[in-house]
A and B are shown apart, each in its own frame.
Chain A
Amino acid sequence: QKEVEQNSGPLSVPEGAIASLNCTYSDRGSQSFFWYRQYSGKSPELIMSIYSNGDKEDGRFTAQLNKASQYVSLLIRDSQPSDSATYLCAVNRAGGKLIFGQGTELSVKP
């Protein structure tokens, strides 16, 4: 089992729809969770962090964390073509290192 697993893409949604990206992790001791966006040919950019169970909202983005189920998700409301990118889930390992999932490619169709 991989330490961090993301639902395989590519995920295609129409403009204006909600995009739902999912991630599971294996280490129950993980305390910090992050979502990164990576455009093709660019480096990852941190867009959301979440540390406690529940929802965290930032603009059109909502991160959801359920530690009991070892599950973290990212919802993108009113998806725009500019949201088309690969989204990486990252979970902290002991000592401050992050473990990244393989990424989910999102395509938002106009």
Chain B
Amino acid sequence: DVKVTQSSRYLVKRTGEKVFLECVQDMDHENMFWYRQDPGLGLRLIYFSYDVKMKEKGDIPEGYSVSREKKERFSLILESASTNQTSMYLCASSVRGYGYTFGSGTRLTVV
């Protein structure tokens, strides 16, 4: 089975901090995605990547950036954390045309 590992299950950060969320997948998938999930708003796509060093903006990229230096690793960066970025962050990977496999999620609280 594909395994997608997110480095932290819970994180608490202060406003203005730079935050790194790490995601690693072990099945050589080309595609990787970052979503956030909020009550009433569902899953919203932040950024995605189809290949190493490639990135594309999703629907809500403001305040975020990403890095994909290796095929298996896709990092989400909050340049200056704000309280409205408190959310559940979900990383996923896939082969094109097939469903995603999600990581276990990181619940980030910004205080």
Question: Does A associate with B in a complex?
Answer: yes
The yes or no answer to A7 lying at the interface (CB within 8 A) is: no
The yes or no answer to A87 lying at the interface (CB within 8 A) is: no
Bound complex: CA A31 to CA B85 (Å): 33
Q: Which residue of A lies closest to B33 (CB)?
A: A97
User: Could you tell me if A96 and B96 are in contact, using CB atoms closer than 8 angstroms?
Assistant: yes
Contacts of B43 in A (CB 8 A): 44, 88, 100
Bound complex: CA A43 to CA B99 (Å): 14
The yes or no answer to A80 lying at the interface (CB within 8 A) is: no
User: Could you tell me if B102 and A45 are in contact, using CB atoms closer than 8 angstroms?
Assistant: yes
- A32-56 vs B, CB cutoff 8 Å, 1 = contact: the mask equals 1010100000111110010000000
- A48-68 vs B, CB cutoff 8 Å, 1 = contact: the mask equals 010000000000000000000
Contacts of A45 in B (CB 8 A): 102
The yes or no answer to B104 lying at the interface (CB within 8 A) is: yes
Contacts of A95 in B (CB 8 A): 50, 56
The yes or no answer to A102 lying at the interface (CB within 8 A) is: yes
Shortest C-beta distance, A91 to chain B (Å), equals: 11
- B89-103 vs A, CB cutoff 8 Å, 1 = contact: the mask equals 010001011111111
Bound complex: CA A103 to CA B96 (Å): 23
- A98 with B104: in contact, given A44-B90, A88-B43 (CB under 8 Å)? no
Contacts of A43 in B (CB 8 A): 90, 102-105
List A residues at the B interface (Cβ < 8 Å): 31-32, 34, 36, 42-46, 49, 88, 90, 92, 95-98, 100-103
Q: List 16 A-B contacts (CB under 8 A).
A: A31-B97, A32-B99, A42-B105, A43-B104, A46-B101, A49-B99, A95-B56, A96-B31, A96-B50, A96-B97, A97-B45, A97-B58, A98-B99, A98-B100, A102-B40, A102-B42
List B residues at the A interface (Cβ < 8 Å): 31, 33, 40, 42-43, 45, 48, 50, 56, 58, 90, 94, 96-105
